[in-house]
């Protein structure tokens, strides 16, 4: 069989190659068309879902238009809101861990020997400043100063705590009482009297305030004034059964002071 010339053979091969290239090109065009169609179909489906969701909530037309117009801004805002919520949750978890660690550290510090307590308590104040355990540690440091006769240092610590603690905090009257005692021990009677006057305004601390004010006047030899202060308290609680014991104690003090005049 005549196979033809080499030139005819090469031309035949070229025809085959061109045919295959055309087939590949057609296949690529078909796939590109399908991808574009699928993408458009996906976008349209997504938009249909969004449109359906908006219709489902029966939103006013103006609201729907606003949402469509500001979709990107709304998405960014929601993202920021979610980030803020997550950050707040993480902060809450962190603070809870801080409170637990501070409570444990305070318990351990109070069990330490007296010589080591001040250092341990100071570390709690420095490391866990935002916790209630830190406040209690500061109170204990002031108590240690009082116990060791460092009345001026104790007064400074109590005064700082007084500024820090809210009026509703149960620690408030205790801190005022500590400050008044530190000032009285330092013979700063005017300042101490001011704190005792503040103390007697707290429920449950009335008798302590009046008795302490009377004691300061007695210390200075002002017996008539001391008696007048105590008499005022007796008159203010007469008939109140909750002050029966305090009433009897103050009556005894008044009788003793009258004897000293």
**Predicted local confidence at residue 144, as pLDDT:** 95
Rg (CA), the chain: 42
**Predicted local confidence at residue 64, as pLDDT:** 67
For 158, residues 6+ apart whose C-beta sits below 8 A from its C-beta are 142, 175, 176, 178, 179, 182
Same domain, 129 and 189: yes
Per-residue pLDDT of the chain (261 residues; tens, 9 = 90+): 444 555 554 444 455 445 445 555 555 655 555 454 444 444 444 445 555 555 566 667 777 677 777 778 877 888 888 888 888 877 777 678 878 888 999 999 989 988 899 999 999 999 988 888 999 999 999 999 999 999 999 999 999 999 999 888 989 999 999 999 999 999 999 999 999 999 999 988 988 999 999 999 999 999 999 999 999 888 877 777 777 777 788 888 888 888 887
Residue 164 within any structural domain of the chain: yes
Domain count, the chain: 2
Dist. CA 199–CA 201, nearest whole Å: 5
Last residue of a domain, one of 15, 40, 59: 59
Residue 186 within any structural domain of the chain: yes
What is the number of other CB atoms lying within 10 angstroms of the CB of residue 134? 22
Same domain, 75 and 20: no
Same domain, 52 and 83: no
Same domain, 162 and 219: yes
Dist. CA 141–CA 135, nearest whole Å: 10
Dist. CA 149–CA 147, nearest whole Å: 6
**Predicted local confidence at residue 8, as pLDDT:** 52
**Predicted local confidence at residue 16, as pLDDT:** 47
Same domain, 189 and 97: yes
Same domain, 25 and 111: no
Residue 153 within any structural domain of the chain: yes
Same domain, 43 and 99: no
Residue 38 within any structural domain of the chain: yes
Same domain, 21 and 76: no
**Predicted local confidence at residue 50, as pLDDT:** 52
Same domain, 119 and 50: no
Dist. CA 165–CA 198, nearest whole Å: 15
Same domain, 12 and 33: yes
**Predicted local confidence at residue 244, as pLDDT:** 74
Please give the residue range of the domain that contains residue 14. 6-59
Dist. CA 141–CA 148, nearest whole Å: 11
**Predicted local confidence at residue 209, as pLDDT:** 93
Same domain, 112 and 22: no
- Rounded to 10°, the helix 171-185/151-164 angle is 150
Residue 75 within any structural domain of the chain: yes
Residue 163 within any structural domain of the chain: yes
Same domain, 54 and 85: no
Per-state percent for the chain, helix, strand, coil, to nearest 5:
85, 0, 15
* Long-range own/partner contacts, residues 145-153 (CB < 8 A, 24 or more apart): 145/182, 146/178, 146/181, 146/182, 146/185, 151/182, 151/183, 151/185, 151/186, 152/182, 152/186
Residue 158 within any structural domain of the chain: yes
Please report where in the chains the tokens 């609201």 appear, as a residue: 63
**Predicted local confidence at residue 32, as pLDDT:** 54
**Predicted local confidence at residue 6, as pLDDT:** 52
Residue 64 within any structural domain of the chain: no
Dist. CA 105–CA 122, nearest whole Å: 11
Considering only CA atoms, which of 182, 101, 104 is closest in space to residue 141?
182
* Domain at 191, CATH number: 1.25.40.10
Helix (H/G/I), strand (E/B), else coil: 56: helix
């Amino acid at each position: 069989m005549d196979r033809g010339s080499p030139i005819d053979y090469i031309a035949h091969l070229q025809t085959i190659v061109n045919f295959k290239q055309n087939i590949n090109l057609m296949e690529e065009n078909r796939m590109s068309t399908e991808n574009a169609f699928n993408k458009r179909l996906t976008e349209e489906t997504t938009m249909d879902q969004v449109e359906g969701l908006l219709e489902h909530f029966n939103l006013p037309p103006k609201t729907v238009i606003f949402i469509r117009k500001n979709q990107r801004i709304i998405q960014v805002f929601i993202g920021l809101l979610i980030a803020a919520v997550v950050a707040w949750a993480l902060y809450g978890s962190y603070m809870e861990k801080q409170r637990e660690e501070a409570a444990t550290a305070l318990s351990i510090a109070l069990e330490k020997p007296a010589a080591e307590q001040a250092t341990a308590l100071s570390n709690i104040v420095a490391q866990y400043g935002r916790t209630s355990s830190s406040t209690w540690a500061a109170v204990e440091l002031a108590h240690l100063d009082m116990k060791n006769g460092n009345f001026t240092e104790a007064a400074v610590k109590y005064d700082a705590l007084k500024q820090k603690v809210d009026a509703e905090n149960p620690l408030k009257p205790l801190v005022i009482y500590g400050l008044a005692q530190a000032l009285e021990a330092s013979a700063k009677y005017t300042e101490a009297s001011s704190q005792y006057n503040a103390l007697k305004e707290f429920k449950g601390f009335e008798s302590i305030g009046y008795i302490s004010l009377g004691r300061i006047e007695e210390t200075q030899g002002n017996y008539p004034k001391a008696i007048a202060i105590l008499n005022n308290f007796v008159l203010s609680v007469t008939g109140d059964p909750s002050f029966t014991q305090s009433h009897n104690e103050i009556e005894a003090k008044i009788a003793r002071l009258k004897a000293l005049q």
